Amino acid sequence: MINVGIVGSTGYGGCELVRFLLTHKDVHIQWVSSRTYVDEEYSDIYKSYFTLIDQKCIDEDIENYLDDVDVVFFATPQGVCAKMVNDNILSKVKVIDLSADFRIKDVNTYESWYGIKHASPEFIKEAVYGLCEMNRENIKNARLIANPGCYPTCSILSIYPLAKAGLIDMDTLIIDAKSGTSGAGRGAKVQNLYCEVNESIKAYGVANHRHTPEIEEQLGYASKQNVLLNFTPHLIPMNRGILITAYASLKEGVTQKQVQDAYQIYDDEYFVRVLKEGNVPEVRNVKCSNFVDVAYKIDPRTNRIIMMGAMDNLVKGAAGQAIQNMNIMFGFDEKEGLLLAPAVL
């Protein structure tokens, strides 16, 4: 049994951490913290947790609370974890950061795309990028995990088998992405109001979305080359979920059998489901779960391949993957606490 603390527990990602950790047989939620709701009952903020979590939110001066926990989740905006993490914290507990603070290995790239100065660049090299299906062995002994972004997780897992096998021309890669509004967080923003989003769809962050360098970096590791791609996200009127459609040219002579064999890399990965031929990923089929559904289709007319993926941005794209990382770090069954089936409605 381990004790966990959650910083930023009252955002959507933090709330999902609570939801899943309450089902984990090897975990006790020792404390939840919040900058906004200090000393308020968690079940007053999220009334669905009435009788399930009887705790008040503590402040974010977490060094006062480290003696009681084994791991701390940071479900906080960019810059928060980097400001708070230090050698004392990392000497006492493991840290899983759900923000982008330690995902990108080049500090100048991070500062350029996120528009903030990195507060603790000395920990970037040590941090392990927590995409479990790619970095499982490095995650096992890590003390600082950079939990991947939602768009990058779905994009990378959809494309990774072909990038790793060298079957696609990485210079031709284009990613079209769509996400529900929860990806923007719980804070009140005019552009995310119901009347602004409903009955509409729009592209945003065109040619400059901050998840772009994260996707490029990780696919570069997979393909062993520098990757430069177009990534265009869209906001659609639903609460949660991500759909990725990616396009690339196949290398000369690549066959359907080679593509099929490449995706067998996921045969032993419980949370990545390669769909049967003829099926396509749908957000509704992964809702509220830690599953990622991927599929592909070769277009012989253009010699291009269409790679598709769907997942829940708050689960495999945030809290679920963070718990999957925790399970690996502490030697638990990787699926523990994450076996909730997708919600049908």
Domain limits, the chain: 2-126, 151-313
**Model confidence at 192, in pLDDT bands (50, 70, 90)?**
confident
Span 238-285, pLDDT tens digits: 999 999 999 999 999 999 999 999 999 999 999 999 999 999 999 999
E strands in 137-192 = 144-146, 168-179
Q: For the chain, state the CA radius of gyration.
A: 20
For residue range 17-31, what is the model confidence (pLDDT) as tens digits? 999 999 999 999 999
pLDDT on residue 190: 84
Task: Note whether 280 and 253 are within 8 A (CB).
Answer: no
Residue 67 has pLDDT above 90, yes or no: yes
Please list the active-site residues: 150
Q: What are phi and psi of 27, to 5 degrees?
A: -130, 140
**For residues 45 and 43, what is the distance between their CA atoms, to the nearest angstrom?**
5
pLDDT tens, 113-123? 999 999 999 99
CA distances from 99 to 130, 174, 210, 263 (A): 12, 24, 12, 29
The predicted pLDDT at position 214 comes to 98
Structurally, at CATH architecture level, domain 151-313 sits in 2-Layer Sandwich (3.30)
Tell me the pLDDT band of 194, cut-offs 50, 70 and 90.
Answer: confident
| Residue type present at position 29 | I
Task: Please state which of the four CATH numbers 3.30.420.40, 3.40.50.720, 3.30.499.10, 3.40.630.30 is assigned to the domain occupying 2-126.
Answer: 3.40.50.720
Model's pTM, two decimal places?
Answer: 0.96
CA distance linking residue 266 with residue 260, whole number of Å: 11
Residue 11 pLDDT > 90: yes
